[in-house]
Chains A and B, each alone.
Chain A
Amino acid sequence: MQRENWAAILLLLLAGAAAYAHATTTTEEFSRYNVGWNGTSGFAAGEVHDLRNLEPGTTLLILAPDRPFTAGEVEYLRTFLDSGGLLLIADEDGAANPLLADLGSAIRVRQGNLSSLDRDHANPGLFTVRVVENATLFAGVETVRVNRPATVTGGDPLLETSILTWDDADGDGRPGRTETFGTAVVCASEGNLIVLGDPSLFINAMLAENPGFINNLQPVLIDAAHSRTGTTNPVINTLAWVRETPAATAALAALAVLPVAYLFGRKRDE
């Protein structure tokens, strides 16, 4: 075979690999298939698509929920909590509030633009909060770096900002006339239910910021049916379906083998 042919084949392979990588990833916020800074591909967790099969005593993370929970699913979660399971809901835009209400919890997520002077980055939304209550999740952790969190009301406070924190309503990055300083709770608990006002703690770019907290959370299951972590695209969906469907896998293997077999047989005939 000539050199040009090898070069062409190499290029085709590289192009194919690049196209595969491009098609099987996404840039959607919090997606498990987003390998960029704002994805959650680097967060180690087992995916759960059906809440009825939750094992008692495990930890389930519902990260940035954006789809409603049916009455049956709420019941599964309640049973899971009663069985000793730990349910961590991380939300910053209030989408989890209907679920919290259905679970009978008084905790709510209040959307806002918390900013603080208690920070070591130039971005006022990227600051440090203090652990104010003993909890397994925060064992050995004194401070947690949050990333544009929301305020959490109700329940027992677990994480609290310093007093030099304000809701930057006008978004100018500095406290204004109507933006007074004050502490805010960004994480609260109610029994086995913990509500965290900052799902950004689990994005790839933030994992290294709070290693103690991330380690304490392991092992953890993550809900892929109701949250933005499950955000995919048609190519990813197709590949996932093929992986999960044995018949489709076999058909695909056959499709790959048949042309080779045909070529091989034709050569023998010649």
Chain B
Amino acid sequence: MNIQASHVILAAAAVAALILLAGEATAPLLYTAQNTSTAAHADPSTVPKESGKDADALIPLMGDLLGETGTLTLTIKLKDFESAERDLARYSELSAQFDNLVVKLDVTGNDIGDFQQNNQENLASLAALLNDTRRFEDLQRLEIDVLDGEQRMAIAYENETLRQKMREGFSAYAEREATVTGITDHYELNATPYRESVTNFAEIVNATEDRQEETGGSANSPLGIAVTPDNGRYGDLLSIAGTYAGGTAETPIKVYVDSRVAGNANLDASGNYACAYLVNRTPTGLHLAYATAGTVYSAVTAFEVLPGETAITLAVEGGSAVTCTGNLTTIEGRPVTGAPVVLRVDGTRLVSTETDQNGTYTEQIALPVGEHAVRAEFTAAGYPLDASESPTETVIVRSEGLSPLPFIAAIAAALGSGWYLRRRHRPAEEPAAEPPMTVSPEEEAAATPPPVEIAGLPPREAATVLFQALRARLGLPDTKTPRDCARLAPAHAAFFERYEQIRYAGETPTDDELRAMEAEARGGDEDAA
């Protein structure tokens, strides 16, 4: 095989290798395999690990929640309010744990999510039951102590409000029983405590109504009240209005919804008042309203908040930090304001944000380089709205561009090196006025020979001494090399060339040569000539 052929083979092999590499260069597998999978299976070594212990806690936690409902209603029924407070706190804590777990495991979309929703409503119902029962007991004691007729009337109104509220609360609680037990039966959980809680709830409400009947219900009041329309959805404005027969203009009226002040108004000249009520964070279901004018109480009236559907959008924009924006609206297009929105990144990481007055949310998330899936979720907790989630958006976070500084530095270094090399190779500028240095025979003759002593020196050192002596005799500077000297004093070129061989080629002069060189250094040849 000749050289040419081997070069051709080498070149062909190199080109083939480069082509093969180029074909694979864009394949991610060449760098870091991640989530490698086919339709039949995934490569476990490329799938990120995660803890599976959270999932183990899910079903037992559901059982604990069911157990807490039975305990809590029993302590309320027994009027052991201190224990009930503790039970409620425990139930609330477990519910929060469960809610977090459901969100973390991303199971809001199936029957576990339904259980979570029902449990949240059960928690709210039982918390209201505890407050209402305790308030009812307080009112019963007040009614006995208070002799004033108007105060007794006020207490009676509040009793009536509480009674209606508890009745409505029980209806809602009992309605959920079928759904909850259906789910718990599927997971083979013991639902007996929960069923007992429904029974206890009913007994508490019935006992309240019995006592209310004993002490007398609401009476006819000169202060009227009506809610129009008698139902509404999120964002609707309801009117709570009425007439106070016998009231004077500018009399202040307070309007209560679910025993909380919901608005203030003044009577007009005709004895009418009106107050607007915005359905915002008002849970779905029946709500009670009444009005007061000083010590005069109106009858209690009810209105219903209907559930509404929502839609949430998501737009992601990549960069060093990913910007997520979107809108949360009802299905009718009404913005949902001040609402919590969760951004789920890659299925596991959760980032919380909130909508503004236009229902828009914006959040910047710092993400590592790579492809990420982001989804916006609205859980609707506390709103008369259904939960919603956006389509999953994919965003690719690229590494920041290379800093230009190293390139600038490299270019500067290259330019500097080029400048230096060019300068170095430029021919040295000739001294303008300085004539070429040569040694004429007259000058040489005029020069005084220096003393030369080489006795006892090694031959090569002796040659050096003779070279220095001749150079000095010829008046040449000490910086001149043997070659320079041979050029400047051609008459002694043979001497200097021989010395150059001795000095740089390592040759050793013979005694005859040394003698000849000594004679030349001392000027013997010229003298002889």
Within the complex, which residue of A11, A37, A182, A209 is in contact with B13, where a contact is CB–CB below 8 Å?
A: A11
- When the two chains form the complex, which single residue of B49, B50, B52 contacts A128, counting CB atoms closer than 8 Å? B52
B109 touches A164 (CB 8 A): no
> B10 contacts A176, CB within 8 Å?
no
Contact-residue bracket for chain B? 35 or more
B6 proximal to A (CB < 8 A): yes
- Chain A residues in 8 Å Cβ range of B5: 8
Q: Which residue of B lies closest to A200 (CB)?
A: B41
- A203 proximal to B (CB < 8 A): yes
Which of B53-61, B204-212, B260-268 forms part of the interface with chain A? Answer: B53-61
A32 within 8 A of B: no
A121-B49 contact given A4-B7, A92-B40, A174-B107, CB 8 Å threshold: yes
Which residues of chain B come closer than 8 Å to A181, judged between CB atoms?
110-112, 186-187
Considering only residues 25-46 of chain B, those with a C-beta below 8 Å from chain A are 35-38, 40-45
Tell me the complex Cα distance, A122–B23, Å.
31
Cα-based distance from A181 to B106 in the complex (angstroms): 13
Is B347 an interface position by the 8 A CB rule? Answer: yes
Which of the 9-residue segments A41-49, A112-120, A214-222, A235-243 touches chain B? A112-120
Let me know if B48 is at the binding interface, CB within 8 A. Answer: yes
**A173 vs B375: C-alpha distance when bound (angstroms):** 14
Contact between chains at B6 and A8 (CB < 8 Å) = yes
Are the C-beta atoms of A176 and B110 separated by less than 8 Å? yes
Chain B residues contacting A164 (CB-CB under 8 Å) are 55, 58-59
Q: With A and B bound together, what is the CA distance between A209 and B44 in angstroms? A: 9
The size bracket of the interface on A is 35 or more
A33: interface (CB < 8 Å):
no
Task: Please name the residue on chain A nearest to B109 by beta carbon.
Answer: A176
Which chain A residues border B6 with CB–CB below 8 Å?
2, 4-5, 7-8
Closest A residue by C-beta to B1: A5
Judge whether A179 and B59 touch: CB under 8 Å: no
A126, CB-defined interface residue at 8 Å: yes
- The answer on a CB contact under 8 Å between B38 and A29 is yes
Is there an interface contact between A126 and B44, defined as CB atoms closer than 8 Å?
Answer: yes
| A97 is an interface residue with CB less than 8 A from chain B | no
Asked whether any CB of chain B lies closer than 8 Å to the CB of A15, the reply is: yes
| Contact of B9 with A12 in the complex, beta carbons under 8 Å | yes
Which residues of B342-395 have CB atoms within 8 Å of chain A's CB atoms?
347-348
Given contacts A148-B42, A200-B40, contact A8 B52 (CB under 8 A): no
In the bound complex, what is the Cα–Cα distance between A177 and B106 (angstroms)? 12
Knowing A2-B3, A11-B10 touch, does A118 contact B44 (C-beta < 8 A)?
no
Docked CA distance A125–B42 (Å): 8
Measured in the bound complex, the distance between the Cα atoms of B48 and A179 in whole Å is: 25
Least CB distance from B6 to A in Å reads 4
B78 contacts the other chain (CB 8 A): no
Also in contact, A205 and B45, with CB within 8 A (given A8-B6, A15-B13, A29-B38) = yes
Measured between beta carbons, the chain B residues less than 8 angstroms from A174 are 106-107, 109, 347
A122 adjacent to B49 (CB under 8 Å): yes
**Does B89 sit within 8 A of A, measured CB to CB?**
no
Query: Given known contacts A117-B105, A125-B42, A174-B106, is B9 in contact with A11 (CB within 8 Å)?
Result: yes
**Residues of A close to B96: CB separation below 8 A:** none
Looking at chain A's contact residues, the main secondary structure is loop
> When the two chains form the complex, which single residue of A11, A121, A205 contacts B48, counting CB atoms closer than 8 Å?
A121
Chain B residue at minimum C-beta to C-beta distance from A228:
B40
The answer, yes or no, to whether B18 is at the interface (CB within 8 Å) is no
CA distance A205 to B187 in the complex (A): 34
Cα–Cα, bound, A163→B188 (Å):
10
The interface centre, meaning the residue of B1, B41, B106, B348 with most chain A CB atoms within 10 A of its CB, is: B41
Q: How far is the CB of B98 from chain A (nearest CB, A)?
A: 14
Q: Are B1 and A8 in contact (CB under 8 A)?
A: yes
Contact across chains for A126 and B110 when beta carbons are under 8 A apart: no
- Closest Cβ neighbor of B56 among chain A residues: A118
- Interface residue A180 (Cβ < 8 Å from any Cβ of B): yes
Q: CA–CA, A238 to B16, complex, Å?
A: 26
State the CA gap A49–B396 with chains docked (Å).
49
Q: Given the complex, which residues of B lie within 8 Å of A11, measured CB to CB? A: 9-10, 13
In the assembled complex, A24 has its CB within 8 A of some CB on chain B: no
Chain A residue contacts of B41, Cβ below 8 A: 38, 125, 147-148, 200, 203, 205-206
Residue A175 at the chain B interface, CB threshold 8 Å:
yes
Contact A120 B59 (CB under 8 A): no
Q: How far is the CA of A123 from the CA of B1 in the complex (A)?
A: 57
Contact B44 A117 (CB under 8 A): no
In the complex, what's the smallest C-beta–C-beta distance from B63 to chain A, in angstroms?
Answer: 13
Kindly state the separation between the CA atoms of A205 and B45 in the bound complex, as whole angstroms.
Answer: 7
Q: Which of B1, B42, B56, B59 counts the most chain A CB atoms within 10 A? A: B42
CB proximity of A197 to chain B, nearest CB, Å:
12
User: Is A166 part of the contact surface with B, judged by Cβ < 8 Å?
Assistant: yes
The answer, yes or no, to whether B411 is at the interface (CB within 8 Å) is no
Q: Which residue of A lies closest to B105 (CB)?
A: A117
Mask, A1-22, CB within 8 Å of B = 1, is 0101101100110010000000
Cβ B109 vs Cβ A177 within 8 A: yes
Hey, which chain A residues are within 8 Å of B348, CB to CB?
122
B412 located at the interface, meaning its Cβ lies under 8 Å from any Cβ of chain A in the complex: no
Contact: B43 with A4, CB < 8 Å? no
Residues of A within 8 A of B (CB): 2, 4-5, 7-8, 11-12, 15, 29-30, 37-38, 64, 92, 117-123, 125-126, 128, 145, 147-148, 162-164, 166, 173-177, 179-182, 199-200, 203, 205-206, 209
Contact surface of B with A, Cβ cutoff 8 Å = 1, 3, 5-7, 9-10, 13, 16, 35-38, 40-45, 47-52, 55-56, 58-59, 105-107, 109-112, 186-188, 347-348
- Apart from A163-B59, A164-B58: 15 A-B pairs, beta carbons within 8 A: A5-B6, A12-B9, A29-B40, A38-B41, A117-B55, A119-B50, A123-B35, A126-B44, A148-B41, A166-B110, A174-B106, A175-B110, A180-B110, A181-B110, A206-B44
Return 6 A-B CB contacts under 8 Å, by A number. A38-B38, A118-B56, A123-B37, A176-B109, A181-B112, A203-B41
